[in-house]
Structure 1
Amino acid sequence: MSAVQINLNTDINQLRNSGYEVEMRGNFLLIHSVPFLNSDRDLELGTLVSNVSSPRVTDHVAYFIGGPPFNTDGSVMKQLINTSRTHNLGLGIVTNHMFSHKPKPMYPTYYAKMTTYINIVSAPAQHFFPEANAKTGKVIEPKEANSVLKYSDTNSSRAEIDAINSKLSGLKIGIIGLGGTGSYILDKVAKTMVGEIYLFDGDKFQQHNAFRSPGAVSKERIDQNSFKVDYLQEIYSQLHKNIISHSKYLDETNIGILKDLDFVFIAIDRGDAKRIIFKKLEELEIPFIDCGISIRRKGDELRGSTRTTLSTKDNRKHVWGERVSFANPDDDEYSSNIQVSELNSLNADFAIIKWKKYYGYYSDLSFELDSSFSIDVNKIINNDATN
């Protein structure tokens, strides 16, 4: 049970002990079987919903699942209904109305908030149907927690974007290369509702990696000489339940391990390995994003760029043109492990944003398949638009 739910125990228990039909879904509190009058003054039952992502009540708004409630004179409850439209809160919660009844001072507890709304909605129904009561005494058994995250994303619930987050739910994601850029990609992906995250890298986590990866690591941990994927799996499994590490480089002998993935991020600089991986992902019809960083020394300054290239089932040709280099950049300054964590993070952010656009999380109006950011002129160039 999350910390928020623990803080809500008193309110929830009070509601249940009073006989209300209580259900918790994530950070939403639902009260079922709330009686109300319809336009014909017939009795109907609805569900009252409140966001409870904060330990104390900070929001006077509530939601309602059902038809619009009416007063005893047959008029709709305009004094209560703020808007009437479908609102997907996620977790299977689709509401029909938003209520607004703001007291002064604010509701002291969620028990006070929910019972106030119930009394307002139910009063007209009880005028014609005295036996109508939201206190059904029915107990709704809590469902087993099935979130891939080990604790709740309360920011998403507060912003009520769980339905948007669900667009990534259940995906099997691969990350090939867990150096600077790949580790930042993992940091972002691990904070989503994807089903499983597979890590592929045969390199060890050493001192230079500590300067190109998110967070901080002790010298003692570095000295353990773990594989990158094992170290990162250990760290991020504190947040996401399903992270699987493969401490190996991918080649012709093991590339088939990618066959069950839904999407793959590639953050390696070996061109020969990229050719093998690209061809296999195309054969498997798996979409992927390839990341690239190029850094050059110019006097006592660095110049360079980041690149983000998306390949989908219907758009593959551009990756074999000039967008992706298949050279092995041994002479590039970047290959000497120059410390550029801000570019690694930026490259990862561009990749994550494009990935989320692909799945409809973010709006996409340009539909570019390739983009590059040039450091010295601070400019983003989009290429290969599909619209």
Structure 2
Amino acid sequence: MSRRPIALSSDLLRLQNEGYDIDIRDGFLIVRNVPFVTSTCSIERATLISPLSLSGDVTEKPDKHVCYWTGAHPCHADGAKIRSIENGAGPQDLAPGLHAAFTFSAKADYRDYHHKMTTYIGRIAGEAAKLDPTATARIFPAIAAEPEESVFQYVDTATSRAGIGAINSKVAGQKIGIAGLGGTGSYILDLVAKSSVAEIHPFDGDVFSQHNAFRAPGAASLHELKDGMLKVDRFAGIYSRLHRGIKPHAFFLDETNVGALAGLDFVFVCMDVGPAKRAVIDYLVANGISFVEVGMGVTVDDGRLGGIVRATVSTPKTRDLAVPHISYADDTSGANEYASNIQIAELNALNAALAVIQWKKLATIYRDSRQSVYLGYSIASGEIITEGPDGAG
């Protein structure tokens, strides 16, 4: 059944965020996995059920104080039945496949369904906790999401628990491109896949090789490396477990195929090769598409690595400010040690985080008092240099 009432009702959402295994079925609110004490003083689990009053997809104040129970009669820690919630009604079928063994009655003026269900659970599961302090109904189950309700395969409880759903939804519906799935691009995919964008289009024609494994999210197995999978196929397979909108493109972008970027709302440019990068950026500029261009300049000095990690934001309003910070030099020339695949995953991850934060600032998810066009992180000093409409800072 649709989980919209849970998403739209603060009391049901609170139950879910607190880890209760809840569902809605045939006009009933169901809480599974409630621990209780049996007459033999063992602990089992059963389901607590309440009639549910809705106005559209939003809960109203409970109009019935009764609840139903699917298991054996719950007992106190000493095995004596909990008589205070007994009701004389016998077993009954509430809906197809939904059978109640007992009806309970704990009369109160319940504010909402969180108040009602936690009151009942406290009386029942509280006795189980006396025997086993780890016995709890708050099990934090994995919750699948329906395709028509979410771009995610399962419910984003991190956002709902933090109460920032309206803020994070500002990127909902966007189609995002990632030009290049090297070290930085793969981390960008990791971060963007955890947002509510509609589609993510990674572009890369390369194979996922052994050196890639040391500067990409996660841990590739030796078997995966021997398979010689394309980067886009490997990462699409991984992140499609989370996000439904991964659309891989198994080719390198250049002047012959930049039209594949048509229709995208934002692009992360994570490319090394100068002419191809120029073709991509020229296309984005000509078509009014905003982007972040990322890169590193890593050098070896006295046996230590130094240099800059940078991100440049270009929107139709900031094109002129962005131009001086975008390099079209061919980084495979050998002057930049980054091109030799030094294993610097932490710099890739930082580069990706800076880029994604800038994108989310443009979407007004994050506050942006400076509106920086350029960010450069100095490895040696640890300083972040920014440049915006008002100059460097």
* 2:346 aligned counterpart, secondary structure: helix
* Distance in structure 2 (CA, Å) of the matches to 1:202 and 1:351: 22
* 2:300 aligned counterpart, secondary structure: strand
**Residue 301 of structure 1: which of 293, 301, 304 is its match?**
304
* 1:9 aligned counterpart, secondary structure: strand
Query: Are the equivalent residues in 2 in contact too, given 1:308–1:371 (CA < 8 A)?
Result: yes
- The aligned residue for residue 160 of structure 2 is 157
User: 1:272 Cα deviation (Å)?
Assistant: 1.4
User: 1:208 Cα deviation (Å)?
Assistant: 0.6
**Residue 374 of structure 1: which of 371, 378, 382 is its match?**
378
Kindly report the root-mean-square deviation, in angstroms, between the aligned alpha carbons of the 2 structures: 3.0
| Structure 1 residues 370 and 18: alpha-carbon distance in aligned structure 2, compared to 1, 3 A threshold | same
- The aligned residue for residue 235 of structure 2 is 232
Identity of aligned residues (%): 41
* Distance in structure 2 (CA, Å) of the matches to 1:286 and 1:227: 27
User: What is the letter of the counterpart of residue 32 of structure 1?
Assistant: E
User: What is the letter of the counterpart of residue 51 of structure 2?
Assistant: S
* Distance in structure 1 (CA, Å) of the matches to 2:52 and 2:253: 59
Query: Are the equivalent residues in 2 in contact too, given 1:12–1:22 (CA < 8 A)?
Result: no
Q: Count matched residues.
A: 286
Query: Are the equivalent residues in 1 in contact too, given 2:151–2:198 (CA < 8 A)?
Result: yes
* Distance in structure 1 (CA, Å) of the matches to 2:148 and 2:119: 24
User: What is the letter of the counterpart of residue 326 of structure 1?
Assistant: Y
**Residue 12 of structure 1: which of 29, 48, 67 is its match?**
29
| Structure 1 residues 31 and 251: alpha-carbon distance in aligned structure 2, compared to 1, 3 A threshold | same
User: What is the letter of the counterpart of residue 21 of structure 2?
Assistant: N
- The aligned residue for residue 351 of structure 2 is 347
User: What is the letter of the counterpart of residue 350 of structure 1?
Assistant: L
User: 1:21 Cα deviation (Å)?
Assistant: 2.1
User: Which deviations, in whole Å up to 9, do the C-alpha atoms of 1:104-140 show, x marking residues without a partner?
Assistant: xx95725769xxxxxxxxxxxxxxxxxxxxxxxxxxx
User: What is the letter of the counterpart of residue 12 of structure 1?
Assistant: L
* Distance in structure 1 (CA, Å) of the matches to 2:223 and 2:385: 43
Query: Are the equivalent residues in 2 in contact too, given 1:165–1:361 (CA < 8 A)?
Result: yes
Query: Are the equivalent residues in 2 in contact too, given 1:371–1:380 (CA < 8 A)?
Result: yes
* Distance in structure 1 (CA, Å) of the matches to 2:52 and 2:204: 55
User: 1:146 Cα deviation (Å)?
Assistant: 2.2
User: 1:176 Cα deviation (Å)?
Assistant: 0.4
* Distance in structure 2 (CA, Å) of the matches to 1:163 and 1:107: 25
User: What is the letter of the counterpart of residue 335 of structure 1?
Assistant: A
- The aligned residue for residue 53 of structure 1 is none
* Distance in structure 2 (CA, Å) of the matches to 1:220 and 1:13: 44
* Distance in structure 1 (CA, Å) of the matches to 2:176 and 2:253: 16
* 1:246 aligned counterpart, secondary structure: coil
* Distance in structure 2 (CA, Å) of the matches to 1:249 and 1:19: 54
- Structure 1: where are the runs of 5+ without partners? 25-29, 36-99, 114-141
User: 1:18 Cα deviation (Å)?
Assistant: 3.0
User: Which deviations, in whole Å up to 9, do the C-alpha atoms of 1:115-169 show, x marking residues without a partner?
Assistant: xxxxxxxxxxxxxxxxxxxxxxxxxxx9974200001111111111000011010
Aligned ranges 1:1-387 → 2 under 5 Å: 4=16, 7-9=21-23, 12-13=29-30, 18=51, 20-21=53-54, 30-32=58-60, 109-110=117-118, 145-321=148-324, 323-329=325-331, 330-331=333-334, 332-385=336-389
| Structure 1 residues 215 and 19: alpha-carbon distance in aligned structure 2, compared to 1, 3 A threshold | closer
TM-score under structure 2 normalisation?
0.67
* 1:275 aligned counterpart, secondary structure: helix
Query: Are the equivalent residues in 2 in contact too, given 1:311–1:369 (CA < 8 A)?
Result: yes
- Structure 2: where are the runs of 5+ without partners? 4-14, 32-47, 64-109, 122-144
* 2:248 aligned counterpart, secondary structure: strand
* Distance in structure 1 (CA, Å) of the matches to 2:52 and 2:117: 17
* Distance in structure 1 (CA, Å) of the matches to 2:214 and 2:306: 19
User: What is the letter of the counterpart of residue 275 of structure 1?
Assistant: R
* Distance in structure 2 (CA, Å) of the matches to 1:22 and 1:223: 56
Query: Are the equivalent residues in 2 in contact too, given 1:292–1:308 (CA < 8 A)?
Result: yes
